[in-house]
Amino acid sequence: MTTTTSGRGRPAAASQLVRYGTPEYRTLLADIAAGAEERERTEERPHAAIDAIRRAGLGALRVSPSGNAPSITVTELFAAVIDLAEADSNVAHILRTHYYFVETRLHGGRGGEPDPWLDRLRAGAIFGNATMELGGPLTRMATRLVPTADGLELSGTKFYTTGSLYADWVNVAATDPEDRMVIVSVPTDRPGVTIEDDWDGIGQRMSGSGTTRLDRVQVAPEEVLKHIGGADAAADFPPGFLQLFLTAAIAGVLRTARSHVVEVLRARPRSLPHAPTQVPREDVILQQALGQVDSITHAAETLVLAAARTLDALWVAVDEGSPEQADIADQVRADTARAKVVVDRLALEAATALFDIGSASSTRRGLNLDRHWRNIRTMASHNPASYKAQALGNRLVNGVALPANALF
């Protein structure tokens, strides 16, 4: 285990904002992809890849060069997430809560007032997450924000703090003196912030999803971003975003897995004596299995982008003050849940089929074909699909609304 007390300092301003779909965007993704397999093999942390994203301002894809209006659609953002996960699923996962933070700032900035947080994003700042804790209820945090003679102080221990190992700021969920949940954002190099590289999951091993410790961290009043109250303390805008992000990342992994197994099949020198042909790439059974992987990959991407279009429709409804906002938000939750229910199962089937296509030799550690299954399984384990499917069924037969919280 490596323990890191963050001290990177504030990032230099992004030299330019790389925009979605441009040649510069494609070049950046190709550079990230070039080292991804070796990083998976050696468990090298993708600091260089995140630094490249920071310099290019890729974390500000939805942020306009000036003003508070989004620069691209949510659908385009999720297409970019799929692209990024195809290049390196760990890098995409690292940015999950960063992009969610961008959405909350864009939503909060709809009044047009200048937002210093959007300026930080334009400058290339990366935001990590320190929300969850081991044990205890999800909506009541043991981490405390307390007033002292010197101002506000933050103390507590977090786990599953994906991305914080690479971040410039970390967004922390805490309980304030009035017993309300608050979100606080502090620099990762501030005294008292310690980030431990102790994530030991079977997949997404370089996502930095381990422990963040906060020991009497000084907090400025403007760093208390919001209070979350009401009966459902996890409710937030935009609905479904965090869940759809993981499904998009799985779609990107499927793309990589498809390309990987095509290479394996083309290079496979022999088959079994009872196979239809001794040339594996001409074997109709293996071709059929590969076609299934291809179809699942296409379906996953299609479902993700369809749900993202519903999120775009919600943004329009919010901007227009439409009375249909609640109905569209419910549709977003349904579409993201349906996508997860289908994609989780089929993606794991596809990742298993890779070994049927590659045969016994494809299980060699050096080939690293198992990384696709491990990464899909790890991301699919967030908020299991069984609960999504049950909620969808209950909605259909009993008219019960889907859960309106950021964890659904």
Residues 23 and 120 in one domain: yes
Q: Residue 229: is its pLDDT beyond 60?
A: no
Residues 381 and 254 in one domain: yes
The confidence band for 65, taking pLDDT boundaries of 50, 70 and 90, is confident
Q: Residue 16: is its pLDDT beyond 80?
A: no
Residues 95 and 215 in one domain: no
pTM score of the predicted model: 0.95
- How confident is the model at residue 233, as a pLDDT? 42
The answer to whether 304 and 253 have CB atoms below 8 angstroms apart is no
SS3 at position 225? strand
Nearest to 240 by CA among 58, 376, 74: 74
Q: Do the domain assignments include residue 405?
A: no
- How confident is the model at residue 230, as a pLDDT? 47
Q: Residue 3: is its pLDDT beyond 80?
A: no
Residues 162 and 13 in one domain: no
Region 298-315 average pLDDT: 98
Task: Print the domain residue range for 215.
Answer: 130-228
Residues 104 and 147 in one domain: no
Region 376-389 average pLDDT: 96
Give, for 32, the enclosing helix (H) or strand (E): helix 23-34
Residues 154 and 281 in one domain: no
Number of domains in the chain: 3
Residues 317 and 190 in one domain: no
Instruction: Look up the CATH number of the domain holding residue 179.
Output: 2.40.110.10
Return d(Cα 245, Cα 74) in angstroms, integer.
11
What residues have CB less than 8 Å from 326, skipping those under 6 apart?
none
Residues 122 and 18 in one domain: yes
Q: Do the domain assignments include residue 295?
A: yes
Q: Do the domain assignments include residue 179?
A: yes
Q: Residue 236: is its pLDDT beyond 60?
A: yes
Q: Residue 12: is its pLDDT beyond 60?
A: no
Region 361-386 average pLDDT: 95
